Amino acid sequence: MANIDNELNDLGVGPQDESSPEERDSQTLLLQLAERTVLQAEALAKETIDRAREESEAAAQRLLEQTVAEAEEQARGIMEAAEQQRTSSTDKARAEARRIVEAAKEESSTITMEATAKAQQEAEKILADARAEGQGTVSNAQAEEQEILGKAQRESMAVINASQARADNVESNARLRAEFIIRQMNQVVYDGIRRAVTETCQDILPDLDNI
């Protein structure tokens, strides 16, 4: 207000000792008009500042929401890819374990059949020789036949048990490998999500600072 009074005085419209009533009324109106103009300018400036602040905050919120949405989308993509890879690795490990078990069973069955056939042949040969030598040796031949058959059965069981143990060991190793692959893929998923979120935050921080 002091500045306005000084400017009006400089222009010759300020208070003077010899001014007429009309001049004093005119000066009063000019002062009131100047005060009203200043108040309107201050109100307009405050409104402009408030609007700019609101627009800036809204823009920052939109940017943050967009960035979070993009980070979530990237995380979902990483998790889906990791889940597909984990499922594929698990299926391959299970298929390999089944193949090894089936091969072991087939090998065991073949060995058992061959051992049984060989024992039967030897038993029949011994029995034929015993019959040729006389009835007295038949009982001995039968006992020997039973011994040979028992031995063949024991060998067959040993082969079967060994094959089964081998199959169980292979299946256990395959299961452990599948679990290891699953844990490794879970770690990859976790690292990928954490890296994506960290990079996204680092990307938006400068924008937020500028806002």
Summarize pLDDT for 184-200 with one digit per residue, the tens: 877 877 787 778 777 76
Q: Which element (helix H / strand E) includes 156?
A: helix 138-210
In the chain, the number of structural domains is: 1
Q: Interhelix angle for 21-133 vs 138-210, to 10°?
A: 170
- Say how far residue 181 (Cα) sits from the centre of its chain: 14
- pLDDT tens per residue, range 132-168: 665 655 566 677 778 887 887 788 788 778 878 887 7
Copy the structure tokens of residue 169: 């060991």
- Look up the domain containing 106 and give its range: 2-210
pLDDT at residue 8 is higher than 60: no
Handedness of CA 68, 74, 75, 80 (dihedral sign): positive
- pLDDT tens per residue, range 39-75: 888 888 888 888 888 887 888 788 878 877 787 787 7
What does the pLDDT average to over 104-126? 73
- Residues 148-173 as b or e (16 or more Cβ within 10 Å = b): beeebeebbeebbeebeebbeebbee
